[in-house]
Chain A
Amino acid sequence: AQSVTQPDIHITVSEGASLELRCNYSYGATPYLFWYVQSPGQGLQLLLKYFSGDTLVQGIKGFEAEFKRSQSSFNLRKPSVHWSDAAEYFCAVGALGRGKLQFGAGTQVVVTP
């Protein structure tokens, strides 16, 4: 069975500081991994994805994530956060195209001045 765990429900970070959001997954086959961001009352926007190849993937808005198969992790990072990064972040695992996605419970990020 596939599952996603985001250990941190809530993270507070100062503007300009670095951010790391944790994601651990369980998946029976080769995992396809995604990070989505959701602003209040909005849909999900894809930040980045890992299909295969280089384990460090770059996304939009200055985010990157590293896939570590040995740790079953896909952590999201940003070197310097902006106030506009305040949102909820979801890690997901699943198949491409016609496969369903399994989401984590999300991490709420608050950015302080």
Chain B
Amino acid sequence: EAGVTQFPSHSVIEKGQTVTLRCDPISGHDNLYWYRRVMGKEIKFLLHFVKESKQDESGMPNNRFLAERTGGTYSTLKVQPAELEDSGVYFCASSQWQGAYEQFFGPGTRLTVL
């Protein structure tokens, strides 16, 4: 069974540009999460999808971040326009059903904003 995949693995962009990160969860997993780790700090929750609906987006930093999950399958996280402080590693995770606290993480996308 394939794990959570993320694309791209690395992205380097200029301040003010737009970047879109993609996550493919484990097949059959209804729950999808986005997290971010900045500069060796803690891994911070961004948002949680149940199928195509946003269950909790309390961790989204501001309106420059837009997450979507079309048809309840893969998800995208768009940052527009990117700022220097957006640099970090963006992790996606999935779990099969609500109440399954053990989440399966992807390898992350390292975003560098110059």
Say whether A and B bind each other: no
B residues apposed to A, CB below 8 Å: none
A residues apposed to B, CB below 8 Å: none
